[in-house]
C-alpha cells in the first residue's frame, strides 16, 4: 500500500518546487510583468521537468500570476491600474486587522528588534546607499509586514497574503522599486508604525499602517503626494 502513496508524493513535491521556484524567478526579476514565456522556458528557468511546470500552471493562473494566451504562450501578469488598486485594497483589508492584533500581542522584544533593524538601515543609508543595502532594506520592510500577518495565527489569511504579496512585488518590479530617494521615507513610515504599535492602541496602529499603505499605493499609481 505504501508504493502508490510514494508515487503520488514525488509529483506533489515537484509541483511545490515549481511554484516556489517560479516565485524565486519572479522576485529576482528574471521574469517580468507582461512577459511572454513558453512552458519549456519556465522549465529551464526553474530547473524542473516540463511535467512539473504543466502541473503548476493551473494554480498560477487561478492566482492571477499568469495567463495562457493562444498562439503566444504564457504571459506573466501585466501590471495596470486595476491590479494596483485591487492588490493594495486587499493588502489594506488584511494588514489593518493584523496591525490592530499585533499591537496587542507583540512582545517588547519583538518591537525592539524590529526598530533596531530599521534604525540600522537608516544609519547605513546615511553613509551611502548601495544595491546590497536596498536588498537588506527590502527584506526588513517585508519582514515587518509578514510578522504582523503571521501573528494572527490564521493559515488561510497568511496564504492569501503571500499570494497577494507576489502581486505587490510584480507591481514593484513594473512601477516602484526601493531607491536611495524612497528608502528613508519608507523606513520612517515603518518606524512610525512601530511607535504606534508600542502604544498598544489598535486604532493608532491601524491609522499608521493605513497611512503607510496609502503612500505605497500612491507611489505605485504615480500620484503626486503632498510634502511630508
Does the structure show a pLDDT above 70 at 227?
A: no
Q: Quick one: 113 and 156 in the same domain?
A: yes
Residues 91 and 199 in one domain: yes
Share of the chain above pLDDT 70, in %: 90
Same domain, 126 and 165: yes
Residue 156 clears pLDDT 50, i.e. is over it: yes
Asked if residue 227 belongs to a domain, the reply is no
* Averaged pLDDT, 113-133: 94
Would you say residue 118 lies in a domain? yes
- Domain end marker among 52, 76, 100: 76
In this structure, what CATH number is given to the domain that contains residue 211? Answer: 1.20.120.530
**pLDDT of 196 above 70:** yes
Are 14 and 48 members of one domain? yes
Any long-range contacts for 112-121 (C-beta under 8 Å, 24+ apart)? Answer: 114/143, 114/144, 114/147, 114/194, 115/191, 115/194, 117/143, 118/144, 118/187, 118/190, 118/191, 118/194, 119/191, 121/183, 121/187
Do 144 and 217 lie in a common domain?
A: yes
Residue 87 CA to residue 163 CA, distance in Å, equals: 10
Element (H, E) at 29: none
Among 76, 96, 119, give the residue marking a domain's end: 76
Within-domain flag for 131: yes
List the domain range (segments joined by +) for residue 34.
Answer: 2-76
pTM of the model: 0.81
Number of domains, the chain: 2
Do 117 and 190 lie in a common domain? yes
Check pLDDT > 90 for residue 135.
no
**Separation of alpha carbons 12 and 149, rounded Å:** 27
Do 86 and 116 have their domain in common?
yes
In a domain, 92, yes or no: yes
Residues β-bridged to residue 74: 37, 68
Pairing of strands 66-69, 73-76: antiparallel
Point out the domain boundary residue: 46, 76, 106.
76
**Is residue 122, in this structure, part of any structural domain at all?**
yes
Residue 226 lies in a domain: no
End-to-end CA separation in angstroms for the chain: 66
Instruction: Give the domain CATH number at 49.
Output: 1.10.10.10
Residue 31's pLDDT band, with cuts at 50, 70 and 90, is: confident
pLDDT digits (tens, 9 = 90+) for 65-120: 999 999 899 999 888 899 999 999 999 999 999 999 999 999 999 999 999 999 99
Same-domain pairing of 187 and 85: yes
Please indicate, yes or no, whether residues 88 and 141 belong to a single structural domain of this protein: yes
Amino acid at each position: 500500500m505504501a508504493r502508490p502513496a510514494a508515487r503520488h508524493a514525488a509529483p506533489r513535491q515537484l509541483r511545490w518546487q515549481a511554484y516556489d521556484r517560479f516565485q524565486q524567478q519572479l522576485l529576482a526579476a528574471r521574469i517580468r510583468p507582461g512577459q511572454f514565456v513558453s512552458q519549456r522556458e519556465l522549465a529551464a528557468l526553474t530547473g524542473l521537468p516540463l511535467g512539473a511546470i504543466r502541473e503548476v500552471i493551473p494554480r498560477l493562473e487561478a492566482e492571477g500570476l499568469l495567463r495562457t494566451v493562444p498562439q503566444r504562450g504564457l504571459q506573466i501578469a501585466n501590471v495596470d491600474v486595476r491590479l494596483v488598486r485591487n492588490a493594495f485594497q486587499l493588502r489594506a483589508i488584511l494588514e489593518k486587522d493584523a496591525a490592530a492584533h499585533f499591537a496587542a500581542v507583540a512582545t517588547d522584544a519583538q518591537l525592539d528588534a524590529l526598530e533596531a533593524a530599521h534604525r540600522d538601515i537608516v544609519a547605513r543609508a546615511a553613509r551611502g546607499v548601495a544595491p546590497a543595502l536596498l536588498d537588506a532594506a527590502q527584506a526588513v520592510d517585508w519582514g515587518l509586514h509578514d510578522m504582523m500577518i503571521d501573528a494572527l495565527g490564521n493559515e488561510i489569511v497568511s496564504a492569501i497574503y503571500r499570494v497577494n504579496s507576489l502581486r505587490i512585488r510584480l507591481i514593484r518590479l513594473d512601477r516602484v522599486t526601493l531607491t536611495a530617494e524612497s528608502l528613508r521615507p519608507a523606513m520612517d513610515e515603518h518606524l512610525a508604525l512601530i511607535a504606534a504599535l508600542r502604544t498598544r492602541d489598535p486604532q493608532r496602529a491601524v491609522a499608521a499602517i493605513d497611512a503607510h499603505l496609502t503612500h505605497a499605493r500612491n507611489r505605485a499609481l504615480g500620484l503626486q503626494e503632498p510634502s511630508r
